[in-house]
Chains A and B, each alone.
Chain A
């Protein structure tokens, strides 16, 4: 049971990172990314291929972050140059390209069989008994670091500028903000975060294949961000946890209602998530939490004690 909970918690950490990436891109800056799973796959495969080639884990992850960030920056730049609405199509296409490459370029990606035997970082030092727990601790630490970094960004003038671009890019531009640069940076930052998520996933199972990065991964991220409240990093953590709770809790339905077979359970799980999201949007259309807003008294007291973090 403990082992099961540790695995679930690690998966939630990865899902939270993916949702955070989407929250920067779409939640804050209004740039949709339907190729999110493709970015995670790109990150996972880059890390996997490099570690299998003998790179130390840290360098492999760093390289993977750079690859995904540059890819994110390029994709947003290309689609901005065309026209802003093209981002949806471009990211969808990117996701599909990544899927096809991972499936068909077997010499590089192992094709449908995937890449087994990805060396897990520090496995000799930690030892195999406690490794899963240590890995979870590492994953949670990474989530915490990304979370606090993003919170600082969100609470700064740049964070407000990103939200301004989302609300009305002409106004943001007329007030002196370089909208194109902000968009490219936000998309690149999101790309970098997906690479961290993908790398964790590669190390988690020490095996990756294309079936781990399907559209449902993207869908869960959107659900977490929408349920949590667009723009709120804390909200999406709550959102991702709720989704995982519904998914996993329904697993035990089989023990309670014995007439159901596995396929029916799987269908019911998705129905539960859908129903949960619809109910939430009826009763709390703005999501569980509100995004950060700067308020005047607190801001003028910048020299006073640090903000309480009240949202």
Chain B
């Protein structure tokens, strides 16, 4: 589904990704773990088009998408959330979600003025879908609030539901549980599991090991910009090299 080959990304003197090759298979939830600074977020940013890799190639569903713009990737069915929430702060929750909808004329300045009825009909449909998604994460009562009014945890939930509004085939989640209250983490796990059952695949970057244990079919451990090992949760968490990488990362 997603094939990353020899991707490199440097920030000045820092090598965030170094000949990073990893394959994310369809039909699976793949967790990516690793110490802070391992390059997990940078990897997601390169895949989603937020950053252009310095070298290497990325394939999504057999298309070469290296360096493609985020909106092109979104249309191919790739959605993402951000480690540090990026809510559209002056938009309401509902508007945040509607932005991910794809009406028949999404860029036209003329349709809203001259074909208003159709635009409003499509919008009403999208609103129903958006309210359903908000309900799923318990944010529907806040639909009319601006996103700036949400707590940190709620913003994470908003980002997830917004990503789902794209009707994605694969979602990249960057620490979705960070800052979310434990009961809400349970809800998150449920929502992700349900969606996976409906055919959506996930790449899950997460430090919350309960969540990783509950969801992942496979775990990739990253350290210093490249995968160190992969396996199931148990194999990975009992591996000596992984423990060492984490200890090394702490220092």
Contact = CB atoms under 8 A, between A and B. Distances in A.
Counting chain B CB atoms within 10 Å of each CB, which of A155, A158, A172 scores highest? Answer: A158
Q: Is the interface of A mostly helix, strand, loop or mixed?
A: helix
A158 B109 contact: yes
Interface residues of B, number: 50
B144 A296 contact: yes
A299 B127 contact: yes
A156 B166 CA distance: 18
B70 interface: yes
B17 interface: no
Contacts of A156: 111-112, 116, 119, 123
A302 B123 contact: yes
Contact of A177 (B71, B80, B87, B94): B71
A123 B144 CA distance: 51
Contacts of A302: 120-121, 123-124, 127
A149 B127 CA distance: 23
A153 B166 contact: no
Contacts of A161: 99, 106
A179 interface: yes
Interface residues of A, number: 38
A167 B95 CA distance: 12
Contact of A168 (B71, B86, B101, B122): B86
Nearest to A169: B70
A296 B96 CA distance: 12
A160 B70 contact: no
B143 interface: yes
Counting chain B CB atoms within 10 Å of each CB, which of A161, A171, A185 scores highest? Answer: A171
B123 A299 contact: yes
B95 A294 contact: yes
Contacts of B74: 173-176
B112 A158 contact: yes
Nearest to A149: B113
A284 B49 CA distance: 39
B107 interface: yes
Interface of B: 48-50, 69-71, 74-75, 79-80, 82, 86-92, 94-95, 98-103, 106-109, 111-113, 116, 119-124, 126-128, 131, 143-144, 146, 162, 165-166
5 contacts: A173-B69, A173-B70, A173-B71, A176-B74, A177-B106
